[in-house]
């Protein structure tokens, strides 16, 4: 049973005494934490510790047994649409719509989230800002590597105008160069009132990008220090 505590003021996402189970097994028990604005938060923990469940609780894909969760003031179990409108959730391995081009996938993701199909120019600009190379715009999404898939998702995040970017284990199968680039992109996405939450079981990406590191482990919470300065984590934990 894990307990999450900590977090700075001005929380965009707040857990309060949350209990949840996964396939009948308790994973969270009275967990409380806050994920701040304008910051990259990393949730670390070993496999099976419930990292993905926390993200599913945030996005409304899983339900809690007790406690309170507020996403920008909205409850995922009550105001699911409002919550999902604010969150861009990237599952593990950053899956993208199969059988489409990168441009079409970006437009589809935006359409599904906002009901608006962005113009080509707008889509191209968002993808370029997310470091998707021009040569990949017409490529089939099945040919994309993990880094480009994440870049595509960040392009969708920009097009949607969502305020929270949530990625499950984004560092998987990335080399060091790609991790550095991804960390830079994540930090860029965490500005101007936006928030980024990532999970992982090691600190390779968290050490490069996270402002706040939360460790999710059985029965205990361990603040982790990152390679870069981490004032928010130091303040809250």
Partner 1 sequence: VTLTTFIRFVAEDVRRQLLTPWAAAAVVTLAAVSFGALLSGQRDVERQRAEYEALLQERLESQMRAKQVLWGRAPEAALRAIRAPSPGVTLVIGRDRAIPAAWDFAPWGTETLFTYRHREWDFESLIRIPGGLVALLLGTILVVRDRTSGWIAALHAMPIAAWQVSIARLLGMSLSVAGAFTLWWTLIWLSGGHLLPAGITVWPLLPTAIVYGWTLGAVGLACAWLSRTPSRGLLVGLGFWTLASILMPSVIPRAVGALASTTERREEERLRREQYADDVRLTELEVSGPMASMLPVEVTDPGAVDRWAAANFPRVERQWRAGMQRAREAAHASLETAQHAAALHETYIRYTGWLVPGLLVKHALAEVAGTGSVAARRWEHAVAQRHAALRALLFDDRPTASVRLPAGGAIQGFVVPRRSPPRVAEAGIFEPPAIPFGSAAGFREFGPAMIAWLIVSFCAAFAAGASGSRRGA
Q: How many CA atoms lie within 13 A of 105 on its CB side?
A: 28
Interacting residues with partner 1 (CB under 8 A): 59-61, 80-81, 84-85, 87, 89-93, 95-100, 104, 108-109, 111-113, 115, 117
The smaller minimum CB distance to partner 1, of residues 84 and 194, is found at 84
Q: How far is CA 115 from the centre of its chain?
A: 22
Alpha helices in 194-230, H assignment, sequence order: 206-209
To partner 1, the closest distance from the beta carbon of 61 in angstroms equals 6
To partner 1, the closest distance from the beta carbon of 157 in angstroms equals 12
The smaller minimum CB distance to partner 1, of residues 113 and 154, is found at 113
Q: Look at phi and psi of residue 202 and say left if phi exceeds 0, alpha if psi is from -120 to 50, else beta.
A: beta
To partner 1, the closest distance from the beta carbon of 83 in angstroms equals 8
Q: Which residues contact 67 (CB under 8 A, 6 or more apart)?
A: 15, 16, 17, 18, 19, 30, 31, 32
To partner 1, the closest distance from the beta carbon of 144 in angstroms equals 11
The smaller minimum CB distance to partner 1, of residues 164 and 216, is found at 164
Q: Is 221 within 8 Å of 215 (Cβ atoms)? A: yes
- How far apart are the C-alpha atoms of 90 and 56, rounded to whole Å? 11
Q: In what order do the strands lie in the sheet with 11-22?
A: 25-36, 11-22, 66-71
To partner 1, the closest distance from the beta carbon of 82 in angstroms equals 8
The smaller minimum CB distance to partner 1, of residues 90 and 185, is found at 90
The smaller minimum CB distance to partner 1, of residues 80 and 221, is found at 80
């Amino acid at each position: 049973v894990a307990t999450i505590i900590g977090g700075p003021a001005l929380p965009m996402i707040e857990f309060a005494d949350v209990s949840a189970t996964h396939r009948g097994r308790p994973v969270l028990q009275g967990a409380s934490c806050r994920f701040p604005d304008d910051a990259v938060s990393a949730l670390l923990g070993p496999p099976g510790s419930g990292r993905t469940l926390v993200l599913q609780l945030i996005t409304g894909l899983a339900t809690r047994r007790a406690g309170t969760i507020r996403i920008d003031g909205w409850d995922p179990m009550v105001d699911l649409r409002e919550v999902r409108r604010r969150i861009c959730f990237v599952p593990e391995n950053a899956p993208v719509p199969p059988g489409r081009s990168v441009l079409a996938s970006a437009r589809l993701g935006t359409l599904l989230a906002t009901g608006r199909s962005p113009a080509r120019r707008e889509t191209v600009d968002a993808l370029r800002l997310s470091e998707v190379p021009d040569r990949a715009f017409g490529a089939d999404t099945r040919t994309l590597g993990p880094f480009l898939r994440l870049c595509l998702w960040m392009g969708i995040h920009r097009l949607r105008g969502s305020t929270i970017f949530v990625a499950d284990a984004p560092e998987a199968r990335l080399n060091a160069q790609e991790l550095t680039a991804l960390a830079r992109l994540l930090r860029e996405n965490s500005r101007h009132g936006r928030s980024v939450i990532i999970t992982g079981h090691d600190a390779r990406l968290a050490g490069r990008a996270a402002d706040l590191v939360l460790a999710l482990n059985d029965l205990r919470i361990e603040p982790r220090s990152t390679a870069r300065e981490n004032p928010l984590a130091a303040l809250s934990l």
